[in-house]
Amino acid sequence: MMEEDLAALRALKEAVSEGPTPDATERQHARGKLTAHERISLLLDKDSFQEIEPLRRHRATGFGLEKKRYPGDGVITGWGTVHGRTVFVYAHDFRVFGGALGEAHAAKIHKLMDLAAASGAPLVSLNDGAGARIQEGVTALAGYGGIFSRNTRNSGVIPQLSVMLGPCAGGAAYSPALTDFVFMVRETAQMFITGPDVVEAVTGESVTMNGLGGADVHASVSGVAQFAYDDEETCLEEVRYLLSLLPANNRELPPVEPTADPADRRNDALLDLVPADPNQAYDMRAVIEEVVDSGDYFEVHTAWATNIVCALARLDGHVVGIVANQPSSKAGVLDIHASEKAARFVSTCDSFNIPLVSLVDVPGFLPGVDQEHGGIIRHGAKLLYAYCNATVPRVSLVVRKAYGGAYIVMDSRSIGTDVALAWPSNEIAVMGAEGAANVIFRREINTAEDPEAERLRKIEEYRSELMHPYYAAERGLVDDVIDPRDTRRTLIRALDMLRTKHADLPSRKHGNVPA
């Protein structure tokens, strides 16, 4: 009898992995998509997956559901390892009800999310579903509510990664939006609250699914997705890489990797990478690449708000989060999107014990009616709040210029950075010398016999008196002015010193983050 029971169990599980009909997998592949099991196999280490509740079925009847009670109910849940570390994963199976969520489907996800939180391990969702299962009515919607509440409760506790591999419409899109990182695959993945048909009916605008909510739209326009890739294999490999940079939970430090890159390696190339002229553009990514271990870094939001760079990298084997102004895009100014992007990244790093390194070369906040009316004050305050609230080790380095309120916001000494450094090329001031001279010495310039000569003389006077490289250091606002060639060594030494940093926040329920 036992042999017969085992044979029946094997047959049932094979049916689950193959899909509800013989050609279901073929149809999935014809759409250019992998099956849920194939995706899990790519994400996790070989033979490490342990599935839970593979035999669960929905209990709803009516509207044809009683004839389609497939084991697993359209979602695969379980755990495995990535680089030997435990990771929980659920994957919608589009072959069953188009991956639509019902009561049993949601209950499986709820259980997995609770297990991930209890175990203190990352959660990865592989999303490929058609939203709520209409045939199950409000119980399907309640299932989403349970997911959203768990996303929120687990926020900042365990890393939550959403991988978009198919459609995600309506309320379902809010779960990825609540997680830490969103990955999308071009052409096959879309996210939107209302689809193209509804948009056209209401607004008269005609748009395709990808034009409305495709990977490139969310990676470069809306900022919803941090990463976009051409195929599922590359996407899932990058998910594995990101997990290697993150701790299992907020009580642990990120994993340390041995490196062959010497901690005291000199950065001679930096002398030529950054122009002395404060108005000349350059690529800050080249500076990051020169400083970090083996030149390897993982940029977040590469295509959105390109005037600021956010990246994870390693210094002497330890993970750091880098926030850097990008002079090659909008001169590196802070604007609404850049402030939001950096604020979210700083907050994420702080949640998961990742030290912060800020590379500063900022001319200020972007002026303009659209910025003011769009709320640059409150959006800029988000970045200010994130830095002020962060308790992880923080090191800032003024590479070139740092003007006005943007200097303060970019983790200056006055808002709590632990170690403030600068290169000899630094210009830290309320504004640039030209603008300052025109304001302070307006009367003298206008009444001079040669206004232009007087203007140039006053600009140089202001620069030499208040913007020389050691002005901020003389007043304790910069701890040291360093040789650019010592940048890597100095950053590593500062972070080593701060490794045991302990900082307590005030007793409170939570802060009121600027909207």
160, 253, 313, 403, 496 from 318: Cα distances, Å? 21, 9, 8, 31, 9
Q: Which residue of the set 72, 131, 170, 380 is catalytic?
A: 170
Burial class of 10 by CB neighbour count within 10 A (0 to 12, 13 to 18, 19+): exposed
Structure tokens that stand for 29 in this block: 């592949």
160 three-class SS: strand
Burial class of 1 by CB neighbour count within 10 A (0 to 12, 13 to 18, 19+): exposed
Neighbours of 126 (CB within 10 A): 30
State in Å, rounded, how far the first CA of the chain is from the last one: 64
Residue 334 contacts residue 409 (beta carbons within 8 Å):
yes
Structure tokens that stand for 464 in this block: 């030499």
Rounded distance between C-alpha atoms, residue 409 and residue 417, angstroms: 11
Residue 325 contacts residue 362 (beta carbons within 8 Å):
yes
Helix intervals (H) in 80-170: 103-119, 138-154
The position carrying tokens 């004839």 is 67
Whether 406 is catalytic: yes
Whether 405 is catalytic: yes
User: Phi first, then psi: what are they for 240, rounded to 5°?
Assistant: -60, -40
Residue 40 contacts residue 89 (beta carbons within 8 Å):
yes
Helix intervals (H) in 246-278: 270-273
Q: Which residue of the set 223, 405, 416, 435 is catalytic?
A: 405
Structure tokens that stand for 199 in this block: 């948009």
Q: Which residue of the set 137, 156, 171, 317 is catalytic?
A: 171
Q: Which residues pair with 88 in a beta bridge?
A: 79, 123
Rounded distance between C-alpha atoms, residue 25 and residue 16, angstroms: 11
The position carrying tokens 């199976």 is 93
Q: Which residues pair with 79 in a beta bridge?
A: 50, 88
Q: Which residue of the set 311, 406, 420, 433 is catalytic?
A: 406
Residue 415 contacts residue 387 (beta carbons within 8 Å):
yes
- Give the catalytic positions in this structure: 170-171, 405-406
